[in-house]
Amino acid sequence: MNTPIQPFTSSSELARPTVADAVVGFSETPLFIRKPNAEDGWGVYELVKACPPLDVNSAYAYLLLATQFRDTCAVATNEEGEIVGFVSGYVKDNAPDTYFLWQVAVGEKARGTGLARRLVEAILSRPELTNVHHLETTITPDNLASWGLFRRLAARWHAPLNSREYFSTEQLGGEHDPENLVRIGPFQADHI
């Protein structure tokens, strides 16, 4: 019995730029949300560097996210193509109904537009995430912007929000605030 050989599709081919999933913002300053690609890796790295107190990962890590995890990540660009927003995350292998959101970054030019929420909802609205009914993330106790975002998401989705300490300062090497695990859900896809 011969098994047909499947053609190989490179990561760069899989990560070709596509039409925006959504257009948000104001008519005079539209923002375009889409899946990332390899050309976005450096721009995401630069965006995260400009958004303290976010932990900055290597440019290589952002290239991997933009190609290998592109179905569960999103970038937002302005009309000039500058990356002004980014969300990374993945569906958990041991809990396929749960999306773990790793990082949210919104640049100064896009703040106040509701972009963080729109990025998260754009990802969760994708067909490949239809079975997701919980969102998890970790937040330091003093990150008021992130707490505000996730409380607003829970309220908007009519879903409970629960939190507990997940990683202690000691587990994080003694130089990082503790991280609380935050879980929203269950929520219904039609509420997003």
pLDDT tier at 161, thresholds 50, 70, 90: very high
Report whether pLDDT(27) > 60.
Answer: no
CA distance 64 to 165: 28
- Predicted confidence (pLDDT) per residue in 60-104, tens digit: 999 999 999 999 999 999 888 999 999 999 999 999 999 999 999
Name the average pLDDT for the chain: 87
d(CA 75, CA 62): 11
DSSP-derived letter for residue 8 is P
Terminal Cα distance for the chain, rounded: 47
Closest by Cα among 170, 156, 72, 84 to 122: 72
Nearest to 76 by CA among 27, 28, 40: 40
pLDDT score recorded for residue 11: 46
